[in-house]
Amino acid sequence: MAANRWFIDSETGVLTDVLLCPPDYYEWIPSNDIAIQTMAGGGSIDRNVLSSQFNELVSTLKGADVSCHFLTPHKGMPYEVYTRDSSQTTPFGTVVTNLSRPERVGEEKEIRTFYAPDEIWRTCTAGRIEGGDIHIIRPGLLAVGVSGGRTDIKGAAEFINWFEEAGWTCRMIHFPEHFLHLDVIFCMVAENLAIAAVDVLDEADLEWFRAQGIRILPVTYREAMRDMGCNVLALGRDRVVSPRHSTRINAMLRAEGLSVLDPELNQFSRGGGSIHCMTMPLRRQSLQTA
């Protein structure tokens, strides 16, 4: 059935299908502190390099046996390339999120064009919530970031309630709006293994992750904000996609026995997003049946 076509129950199951958007109309805009710093320093996008880097990411994913699906890019939607935010695949169907920034609100129409109507399980309406704040860690465990900006308490509470009704353990992770989304400061890299800006997350939240059996490798504030170093994509089977410029983090991941695929993506990270932001997993193998 079409309604069961897309499914994930973790951040680390083997990835088979992913949603991306070509960066035809991608621009740096002063909508986040990272882009503001880049622009204040006189940075400008090299569109040939931008296109080449996106194609390298697609080639990397296809080389890892991931089927790539694409939204249609639109003028006036400079951050449509960050497909993580506008929808969320779940074990129950797709959720259409509720984007915060005015330049991103129009992305919902394209999302509803991509998904068949019976593939959409829920639509977020109670508050603001974006996919970069949603981490379906493993079957039965969910974390949702709340900065009050891209995702607010009402939006997070609505989403969490749907999972708690299904018996999941859930937690809101609060952090300053400066960091945009949870995936700027926390990401799973393999089952029960994460990287995080440990000097940013509250100690109570770090203890909660540890209590769930999640070991955390430390990333510095500078690596998280300058390099988008936490913003990686686990492929399953101890493989992770991480940007080439994150040299120390990549060495740390390799020392853990992970295979690191490292396309260059600095044209995107300098605008406030990277690999995790640019990919919405559509289907992963279930950890319950792995």
What local confidence, expressed as pLDDT, does residue 44 receive? 78
Query: Are 265 and 242 spatial neighbours (Cβ–Cβ below 8 Å)?
Result: no
Q: Is 206 helix (H, G, I), strand (E, B) or coil?
A: helix
Is 4 a domain residue? no
Alpha-carbon distance of 246 to 123, in angstroms, equals 35
What local confidence, expressed as pLDDT, does residue 45 receive? 78
Task: Note down the domain range covering 230.
Answer: 15-284
Low-confidence ranges of the chain (pLDDT < 70): 1-4, 29-31, 33, 35-36, 38-39, 290
Is 289 a domain residue? no
What local confidence, expressed as pLDDT, does residue 271 receive? 74
Is 230 a domain residue? yes
Is 5 a domain residue? no
Is 19 a domain residue? yes
As beta bridge partners, residue 69 has 19
What local confidence, expressed as pLDDT, does residue 33 receive? 66
Is 88 a domain residue? yes
**Count of domains observed in the chain:** 1
CATH number for the domain spanning 107: value is 3.75.10.10
Alpha-carbon distance of 89 to 148, in angstroms, equals 23
Query: What is this structure's pTM?
Result: 0.94
Is 219 a domain residue? yes
* Burial class of residue 268 in the structure, from the number of CB atoms within 10 Å of its CB (0-12 exposed, 13-18 middle, 19+ buried): buried
CA distances from 109 to 47, 71, 131, 249 (A): 26, 11, 16, 37
